[in-house]
Amino acid sequence: MSITLDQASSTLNELKCRTNFNIKNVTEYMLPELKEPVYLHVEGKTPLLIIRPAFEVFSTELATIDGVHAKYDYYHNAQMTRFPTRQYKGLNETHYGLAFRFDNVEAIKLFINRLIEIVKG
């Protein structure tokens, strides 16, 4: 069972992630004290956290965190403006990233903390 959008949002706020904007079910956050964007999107009722495709090399490691599930393919959304673009279904390129869903709040905390470690190197 996945967590709710409210649980995901409050956990990101608790972890000191800054909110930049919210457009059409997509909220942009910045990791604490870093200029690294992540996006929170609701698919159906399931909140997904989307990270830059540059982190694909860490995707398997992040998915091994208990309660974290990686989506199989790239996630595309025009609102994720800080991410790179690629050709998808339409005529124009669209922004894309790697999406993950979470079983519980603890999984988000472990995921964000590991992502911070990766970004800091």
Q: pLDDT 10s per residue in the chain (121 long)?
A: 679 999 999 999 999 999 988 888 899 999 999 999 999 998 888 999 999 999 999 999 999 999 999 998 999 999 999 999 999 888 899 999 999 999 999 999 999 999 999 999 8
Per-residue exposure over 7-24, b if at least 16 CB sit within 10 Å of its own CB, e if not: ebbebbeebebeeeeeee
- CB neighbours of 14 closer than 8 A, spacing ≥ 6? none
What 3-state class would DSSP assign to 36? coil
CATH topology (fold) of 5-120? Aspartate Aminotransferase, domain 1 (3.90.1150)
What 3-state class would DSSP assign to 42? strand
CA–CA gap between residue 111 and residue 117 (Å, rounded) = 10
**Can you read off the two tokens belonging to residue 36?**
């690294």
**pTM recorded for the entire structure:** 0.93
- Please measure the distance between the N-terminal and C-terminal CA atoms of the chain and give it in whole angstroms: 32
